């Protein structure tokens, strides 16, 4: 399904925080699809068709989309938990619903639209549900701009207004197997969001629409050409890190993830330009390092005999998939591979630097 080039559900947070990003993003070439995006689309397509036509999930095994295939393992890992979550949300199977529906704002915000995964109604509660099949960032439902966007757009779309007619509550639900996150809000909150969105869209249409960096930059395709981003890079390179105090280091760390994403996207953009046949001064595409492999595996086995194979025990995670059960706790131990940097708000406890503390204590004796 096409996406609005002004603002959609997945870009609402960015556009509202950084209206100037709209013009920059529209200057960027379309990003090529990747295996993760294709797998997500495959899973969305299958669950939508299964719900719309009330068909069992196993009927879809072998379904493909852009070289991604629905395997029994992928079905068990992603789709089955998603359906089980839906059964918990609607235990009596009384919900009326619509899947994969285009919703928009009509004359209120021309050209602004998106696609909802599932809209439903149970009693006096309207439901806006979104499937998230990625394994990366955990998505919260509370005050989620994408969910508020879908609710506001669906309330203005003729074929989906029935979901909200007379509803006392609106529930936004993120199903990200194996997690389900739910948030109940009101029509007034959705209408307030709609006004905030309209204000951002109006500002975005101005030639001097402001730019602002923040966590909304993570998925912005315009990072490589954003003046705010390039300004951060220039200032960081001009600063002598050794001279920074601890507060300044913390301030720079807050921008580290933004910078890393900017660098990653800049490399991806250069690769895309070169791959299309255009030139990037000072750079070229070269073949990756070659790795040796057997030209004829049967002859290799003949030469090596039993030495051609090695046995390796499966990991606990692989074992649970094979057995389709949780392993007894006494069989498994979790060992950290080391320390990593995290924000103070991270729920994990800080690592106790025992070795350094003992050394410091001994040095005082």
Interval 124-138: pLDDT, tens: 999 999 999 987 788
Mean pLDDT throughout 193-206? 96
CA dihedral 226, 231, 233, 235 (to 10 degrees): -170
pLDDT at 40: 93
Tell me: the pLDDT tens digits for 255-309?
888 888 888 899 889 888 888 889 889 888 888 777 888 888 888 888 888 888 8
Report the C-alpha gap between 272 and 79 in whole angstroms. 33
> Where is 99: in which H helix or E strand?
strand 96-104
Residues 6+ apart with CB under 8 A from 160: 98, 101, 103, 116, 119, 154
Q: Is the peptide bond before 178 cis (omega within 30 degrees of 0)?
A: yes
Joined tokens for residue 100: 């994969």
CA angle 207, 209, 210 (to 5 degrees): 145
The pLDDT value recorded for residue 233 is 61
Residue 353: its pLDDT value, please? 57
Locate the domains of the chain by residue range: 12-204, 215-275
Tell me: the pLDDT tens digits for 327-361? 888 888 887 776 776 677 777 787 665 555 555 55
State pLDDT tens for residues 96-111. 999 999 999 999 999 9
pLDDT of the residue at 3? 73
CA angle 233, 227, 278 (to 5 degrees): 90
Interstrand relation of 96-104 and 179-185 (parallel, antiparallel or unpaired) = unpaired
Q: What residues are paired with 120 via a beta bridge?
A: 97, 127
CA dist 252 and 256 (Å) reads 6
Nearest CA-CA partner of 262 in 212, 312, 308, 226: 226
Residue listed under structure tokens 């603002």: 7
Residue-level pLDDT at 336: 74
pTM for this prediction: 0.69
Question: 68-69 and 96-104 as β-strands: parallel, antiparallel, unpaired?
Answer: unpaired
Per the CB < 8 A criterion, the answer to whether 79 and 43 are in contact is: yes
Stretch 45-52: mean pLDDT, rounded? 95
Beta carbons of 238 and 252 less than 8 angstroms apart: no
Tell whether the model's pLDDT for residue 82 goes beyond 60.
yes
Answer whether CATH 3.90.320 is correct for domain 12-204: yes
Confidence of residue 317 (pLDDT cuts 50, 70, 90): confident
196 pLDDT higher than 90: yes
């Amino acid at each position: 399904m096409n996406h609005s080039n002004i603002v959609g559900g997945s870009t609402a947070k960015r556009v509202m925080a950084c209206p100037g990003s709209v013009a920059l993003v529209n200057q960027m070439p379309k990003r090529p699809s990747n295996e993760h995006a294709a797998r997500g689309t495959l899973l969305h397509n299958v669950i939508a068709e299964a719900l719309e036509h009330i068909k069992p999930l196993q009927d879809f095994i072998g379904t493909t989309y852009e070289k991604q295939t629905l395997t029994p393992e992928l079905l068990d890992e992603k789709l089955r938990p998603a359906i089980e979550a839906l059964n918990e949300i609607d235990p009596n199977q009384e919900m009326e619903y619509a899947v994969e529906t285009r919703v928009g704002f009509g004359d209120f915000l021309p050209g602004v639209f998106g696609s909802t995964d599932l809209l439903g109604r149970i009693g006096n509660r309207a439901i806006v549900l979104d499937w998230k099949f990625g394994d990366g960032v955990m998505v919260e439902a509370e005050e989620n701009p994408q969910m508020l966007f879908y609710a506001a757009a669906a309330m203005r779309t003729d074929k989906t207004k029935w979901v909200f007619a007379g509803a006392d509550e609106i529930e936004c639900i993120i199903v990200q197997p194996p997690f389900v996150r739910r948030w109940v809000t009101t029509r007034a909150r959705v209408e307030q969001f709609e006004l905030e969105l309209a204000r951002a869209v109006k500002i975005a249409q101005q030639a001097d629409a402001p730019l602002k960096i923040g966590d909304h930059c993570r998925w912005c395709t315009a990072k490589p050409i954003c003046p705010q981003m390039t300004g951060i890079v220039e200032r960081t390179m001009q600063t002598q890190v050794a001279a920074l105090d601890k507060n300044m280091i913390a301030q720079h760390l807050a921008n580290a993830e933004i910078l890393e994403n900017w660098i990653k996207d800049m490399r991806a953009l250069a690769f895309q330009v070169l791959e299309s046949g255009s030139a990037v001064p000072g750079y070229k595409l070269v073949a990756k390092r070659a790795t040796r492999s057997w030209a004829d595996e049967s002859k290799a086995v003949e030469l090596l005999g039993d030495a051609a194979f090695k046995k390796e025990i499966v990991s606990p995670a692989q074992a649970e998939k094979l057995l389709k059960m949780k392993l007894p706790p006494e069989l498994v131990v979790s060992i950290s591979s080391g320390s990593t940097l995290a924000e103070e708000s991270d729920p994990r406890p800080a690592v106790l630097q025992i070795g350094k503390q003992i050394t410091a204590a001994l040095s005082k004796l």
